[in-house]
Amino acid sequence: MVEVSIIFPIYNSETYLPRCLASIKARTLLRILKVILIDYSSSDQSGIIADEAARGDQRIRVIHQQNRGVSETRNDSMVGIGERLQREERCVFFLCNIRLGNPGSARRVSTIPTLTHFTAFRDQINNHSWIELAFSQEPETAELALMVTASGTFLYDLEDAEEIAGQENAYKLDTGVTLPYDTVLTLGATSTDLAGNVGFATKQATVSLSSPR
């Protein structure tokens, strides 16, 4: 099972924060090592909800911080904490402060690009390996973590990939390593939109043999 830590900034999020935390805990493909909730001086009950969640789950840690603007707080807190966790050899994902809206509403509030497709291949002749992936919309940036059982985690940037002709927001990425045939891989994608909002998603795929593409 993939082990990850999650950093989640919150601000006036009382209407959806309990559901979001429940969703994180319910994930079965990931083993959540730590959840860092950064409360940016919320004026509603978000901070209290976060503190109560931390008291009931030792994996959750809450940081209450003065709100100094989106860019400054993200750089100072999210990136700083993320770098410390990565030095501990953990895979780190960032969640953004998304408002889910009313369950009956047909409108989607979040426009953050998320991973929607993932397949993995190995050339049956020369063992050249690559992955193909797609997003719900074009990401401004995306960092990829490919987790291979018994081999470790390999990190990539979407800039290393090439667009797949004729497919919207789809990419092909040479892995640089030989992927083991018929093995289940997990791909984690941390992506941003033009506004700098951050989200993450994971997908699994089994390595298939393929002719050269």
For 115-210, CATH gives 2.60.40.1220
Most confident of 49-53, 98-102, 190-194: 49-53
* pLDDT, position 54: 93
User: Do the Cβ atoms of 202 and 2 come closer than 8 Å?
Assistant: yes
Q: What is the CATH number of domain 2-94?
A: 3.90.550.10
What confidence category does residue 102 fall into, taking pLDDT thresholds of 50, 70 and 90? very low
Between CA 132 and CA 113 the distance in angstroms is: 16
Query: In 42-182, which residue ranges form alpha helices assigned H by DSSP?
Result: 46-56, 70-73, 80-87
Whether 98 has a pLDDT exceeding 80, the answer reads no
pLDDT at 137 over 60: yes
- Sort strands 198-210 and 115-123 into parallel, antiparallel or unpaired: parallel
- What confidence score (pLDDT) does residue 25 get? 74
Ordered by start, the domain boundaries in the chain are 2-94, 115-210
3-class DSSP state of 37:
strand
What single-letter amino acid sits at 49? Answer: I
> Are the CB atoms for 113 and 199 separated by under 8 Å?
yes
Phi then psi for residue 209, to 5 deg, are: -80, 145
List pLDDT tens digits, range 3-44: 677 777 788 888 878 887 887 777 655 677 788 888 888 889
pLDDT-based confidence at residue 106 (cuts at 50, 70, 90): very low
Using the predicted structure, report yes or no on whether residue 125 has a pLDDT greater than 80: yes
Summarize pLDDT for 138-151 with one digit per residue, the tens.
998 899 999 998 78
Q: What is the distance between the alpha carbons of residues 186 and 203, in angstroms, rounded to a whole number?
A: 6
Per residue, the 3-state secondary structure of 46-74, as one string, reads HHHHHHHHHHHCCCEEEEECCCCCHHHHH
How many Cβ atoms from other residues are within 10 Å of residue 19's Cβ? 11
Return the minimum-mean-pLDDT range out of 1-5, 63-67, 114-118, 209-213.
1-5
Q: How long is the chain? A: 213
| pLDDT band at residue 93 using 50, 70 and 90 as cut-offs | low
- Residue 123 is predicted with a pLDDT of 94
Provide the mean pLDDT of the chain.
Answer: 79
Torsion of CA 30, 36, 37, 38, to 10 degrees: -140
